Structure 1
Amino acid sequence: MYKHTVFAICGCLFFVSGFSQDKNIEQLLNEIEQNNTELKGYQSYIESQQLEYRSNNNLPDPQFSGYYLPYGDHATGDYTEYEISQSFEFPTVYAARSKWNNAKSEQLASAYSKKRQEVLIKAKGFLIELAYLQKQKSIQTERKTQSRQVFDQIQELFDTEQVGILDLNKAKIAWIQEQFVVEQIESEIQILLSKLQTLNGGNAVNSISAQSVLAIEIGTVENLWQEKLAVDPLLQELKANEAASLQKIKLEKNKVLPNMALGYNYQGVSGSSYSGIYGGISIPLWNSKNKVKSAEANYDYLQSNTQVVTTSLYTEFQETYNRYQLMLEKYMEYQTTMGNLNSEQLLFKAYMLGEYSFMDYYVELQFYRNASDKMLQMEKDLQLLQAQLLKHQL
């Protein structure tokens, strides 16, 4: 009867509600954002591009030209002429180009946000994996201790000839396997810490708490999608590209207007001189040909591309949401079935009291451990899926 009671009780409870490690993860993500070398480099790139955009809207350099003509067959004095001029585009072009530059700066800001999100979602995945491994290590360390206790007991029984060599070898192999699992987990933890250190600009990342629980309710798919549409960096980048392209059309239309030049001219010979204002205007026949049409075609393409990408993202988002809901449902079934008692500990106590043979104990132990490991794996997978669904909140 006791055996069936133990068999009906499974594992421990990994999830409650809320995401207790969220604050810790957020602190680490903020640290990584500040220290990440890729993001720092991109910020410098953005600054350089913005300065270049502004420099492209400067006036051309003033021009000075002069003539002194002392040679030749002439009865009058030497001829002298000089001219100072400043050329410029039609005034409205500068206003349109300034708006275009601002739109391109918004493009850069959106691209940075997307790059930042890529770095942080990668880091968050590593942190979730790290928390999972730390939990797994804690569990496996306890299992290793139990396996050693079982082996020591079998060794005593073998020494008194109460069990055979086969039982002793099985107990020793089980203990060795548990040792290897712990060592393997420790190695994987070090690899993850190394990856996180790289993302953190070479600064070490301390281990995070293994105690994590999941915020079960994340909202409806439509509410999450509307939230994503408003703030997601990739979608914002598409909008910024459209806005910059639209402003480029306005700029090209303004550039059809003629360029102008103003200046001062002086001419002098044999004590006589002439001076006055110089003015010039360009005739826009060739330089602007097809540029407006090209800008309009690019804008049409970007609008179409935004629609295609948004539709594709929505389909992918729905698929992820459905996988999350299905896995969450299965997890809740596991949680309900397993209850909140420590079956492995109860089974171990039953074995130590002699209610199980070693083989019976080991077979049932694997069942409980497999169920426990499955639940822990589902916890990690749920957190990773949730991170993907909510990555626009980073």
Structure 2
Amino acid sequence: MNKYIVFAICGCLFFINGFSQTTNIEELLNEIEQNNIELKGYQSFIESQQLENKSTNNLPDPQLSGFYLPFGDNATGDYTEYQISQSFEFPTVYAARGQWNASKSQQLESGYEKRRQDVLLNAKELLIKLVFLQKQKAIETERRTQSKQVFDQIQELFNKEQVGILDLNKAKIAWIQEQFIVQQIQSDLQIQMSKLKTLNGGKPLASLSALIVLPAEIGTIENLWQEKLTKEPLLQELKANETASFQKVKLEKNKVLPNMALGYNYQGVSGNNYSGFYGGISIPLWSSKNKVKAAEANYEYQQSNTEVITTSLYTQFQETYNQYLLMLEKFNEYQTTMGNLNSEQLLFKAYQLGEYSFMDYYVELQFYRNASDKMLQMEMELQLLQTQLLKHQL
């Protein structure tokens, strides 16, 4: 097989920094974000929860009560009384609860961003695998064509009694194996496209064949980590949890203040009546017991949890980054070594000149093909590692 077909796929494309290529991937991810059923459902859930949270900060319903007492010794006439009143918590409670509701809304938004990242990360990994399956299919299709050519040549030599039946059978098996590999890749492509269609709300994606992998340069670990601290949805969710728990402490402290009620009262007997304003307070001596302490303990837990998870996330991030650098170095060495070789073409010429038997030729050919496949696999794994490192940019 021509060396350009064997090695070009595993070479310079990995380092191309094409704007349109990145845009294609971003456009497809944006389409998936708009169509994904899980994300649409969660947006509806957020809206319902926000409305429910707002309802918890409403005033209680007004109360209207009345008395008409016509029975008994009514020497002075029938007694009539009615009263309308409105109860409410101390005014600062509503402001504190409003801030708590706002922080809970931020929690919901952070939860959505985390789910969105999970969906888009899965989609991007599927797109990367799809691209490399397409590359692999192009390579294996060419190999299948070459295997058929070799089989036809050996069939002709066999007909001339210049080779034995064993060589013919081996050539046929090699051709059959290549056919199976192409079929298997085609099946894998269909599976990947089906998964992407599911993520896209059941709608097929267009322009898949135009995708090319992203550039390899990703920046220093320090810059990436600082960027992740400000953009990573998981860390933003932890901060939102801290803020909500802190606002809960402020709310519980305000709820210790007395509740109040204001209203109007009327009392009348035989044309004589009295009317005026009504007022009252209730002191939450028992209902608020231990609630402030519980809220403070939860706030301390959220702070500790943020610190633990952030430390664990950084350790994992370091491991992935170091793994990426190591694999990138090995890939570059692989590429430099194999890029200057013309092994398959030389092997084929040697076989045609009779310097190799078919079995010797096939064994040597498999060695170089395995090396080429290894390069392609390393390239895909590098892209997947890069996607993990840059997932906060999704």
> TM range, normalised to the smaller chain?
over 0.9
SS in 1 for 2:61: coil
Q: Distance in 2 between matches of 1:211 and 1:30?
A: 15
Shift, 1:27, TM fit: 1.2
SS in 2 for 1:263: strand
Shift, 1:349, TM fit: 4.9
Once the two structures are superposed, residues 56-79 of structure 1 have per-residue CA deviations (whole angstroms, 9 ceiling, x without a partner) of 101001000000111112212111
Once the two structures are superposed, residues 256-285 of structure 1 have per-residue CA deviations (whole angstroms, 9 ceiling, x without a partner) of 110000000000111100000000111221
Q: Distance in 1 between matches of 2:180 and 2:35?
A: 35
> Residue in 1 aligned with 2:91?
91
Matches within 5 A, 1:184-203: 184-203=184-203
Q: Distance in 2 between matches of 1:345 and 1:131?
A: 26
Q: Is the 8 A contact 1:14 1:379 kept in 2?
A: no
> Residue in 2 aligned with 1:159?
159
Q: Aligned residues: percent identity?
A: 76
> Residue in 2 aligned with 1:339?
339
Coordinate RMSD, CA, aligned: 1.8
Change (3 A) 1:227 1:93: same
Matches within 5 A, 1:215-254: 215-254=215-254
Q: Is the 8 A contact 2:85 2:278 kept in 1?
A: yes
SS in 2 for 1:229: helix
Q: Distance in 2 between matches of 1:84 and 1:329?
A: 80
> Residue in 1 aligned with 2:7?
11
SS in 2 for 1:65: strand
> Residue in 2 aligned with 1:261?
261
Q: Distance in 2 between matches of 1:81 and 1:150?
A: 109
> Residue in 1 aligned with 2:77?
77
Q: Distance in 1 between matches of 2:353 and 2:292?
A: 88
Once the two structures are superposed, residues 302-360 of structure 1 have per-residue CA deviations (whole angstroms, 9 ceiling, x without a partner) of 00000000000000000000110110010010011011566434543554465543223
Change (3 A) 1:215 1:316: same
Q: Residue type of the partner of 1:14?
A: G
Shift, 1:364, TM fit: 1.7
Q: Which has the higher contact order (CA 8 A, sep 6+)?
A: 1
Shift, 1:135, TM fit: 0.6
SS in 2 for 1:59: coil
Q: Distance in 2 between matches of 1:69 and 1:211?
A: 85
Q: Residue type of the partner of 1:187?
A: S
Q: Residue type of the partner of 1:220?
A: T
> Residue in 1 aligned with 2:182?
182
Shift, 1:18, TM fit: 3.9
Shift, 1:299, TM fit: 0.2
Shift, 1:363, TM fit: 1.7
Q: Residue type of the partner of 2:15?
A: S
Normalised to the residue count of structure 2, the TM-score between the two structures is: 0.94
- Structure 2: give runs of 5+ residues left out of the alignment: none
Change (3 A) 1:382 1:147: same
Matches within 5 A, 1:1-394: 11-12=7-8, 13-15=10-12, 16-20=14-18, 21-206=21-206, 208-209=208-209, 212-339=212-339, 343-352=343-352, 354=354, 356-394=356-394
Q: Distance in 2 between matches of 1:207 and 1:142?
A: 23
Q: Distance in 1 between matches of 2:120 and 2:218?
A: 20
Q: Is the 8 A contact 1:14 1:213 kept in 2?
A: no
Once the two structures are superposed, residues 276-300 of structure 1 have per-residue CA deviations (whole angstroms, 9 ceiling, x without a partner) of 0000111221111111111000000
Q: Distance in 2 between matches of 1:223 and 1:153?
A: 58
Q: Distance in 2 between matches of 1:212 and 1:374?
A: 19
Q: Is the 8 A contact 1:11 1:341 kept in 2?
A: no
- Structure 1: give runs of 5+ residues left out of the alignment: 1-5
Q: Is the 8 A contact 1:117 1:233 kept in 2?
A: yes
Shift, 1:28, TM fit: 1.0
Q: Distance in 2 between matches of 1:343 and 1:27?
A: 40
